[in-house]
Chains A and B, each alone.
Chain A
Amino acid sequence: MSMDDCGKCEQLLQGYLDRELSDDEVAQAERHLDGCDYCRRRYRFEESLRTYVRTSAAERMPPGLLEKLAQLRTTGPGTSPI
């Protein structure tokens, strides 16, 4: 493993996790990751970070908003022809 390989592996990180790499690039990243703890740790870190960003940033709709939106309907629930 050389620093150059780690640099290349770092460049493939986002595409790899997004499943946007070509088969060749995936094979290249995986070959390197198999033998490199340093990069493997960083890939795993990135993966947990993404999950954590998603959960940290998710804020539920405030109570009452859904009712306000329903009032904007042009067809009232009472007028439903179904």
Chain B
Amino acid sequence: MKTDIVDLVKRSQSGDEEAMSEIITLHKQLIFTIAYRLLKDYDASLDVCQETFIKLFQNINRVKDPLKLKSWICSIARNLCYDLLRKEKHLNKDSEITEIEQSEDFTKSVRKRAIIQNALERLNPRDRLLLTLFYYENFDIKEIADIVKIKPENVKVALSRARIRLREELKDYDEELLSTD
């Protein structure tokens, strides 16, 4: 896997579109998930996802350590999302989730998802990013620290606080979270 990514980066640096396409395929879900968790807007997340890879390949020659590619891509996505959040504070559409929560037609699993998404929404962007990175993939503490821009020794504390805050946001939804379809 490690040699794969090194090879893919090298080929991308020499303009190989097949390698670029593979890099996109490998990372697109991660980037889209991060963007969606931060922005909670499908179209904006899709734009961020595409823009992230465009920026990546425009600067691919600056990648010195291909093994850090994943962290690098995540950092680009994080910056784009933060820029958007700064520009458009109205981007988060609370009403959509509220609608889902209140509708009786939706299955319990969809309601459960909406409840958790809504609770995530009430956390600050850094907490959302931390939780996404930690639970999504096997990011180690150092990588998370690099992306979130905090000291590695503070990651565990920040993570546990984010997790506790999320639990607090969900304290009134125990029954819904335990229900099955």
B partners with A: no
Q: Which residues of B contact A (CB under 8 A)?
A: none
Q: Which residues of A contact B (CB under 8 A)?
A: none
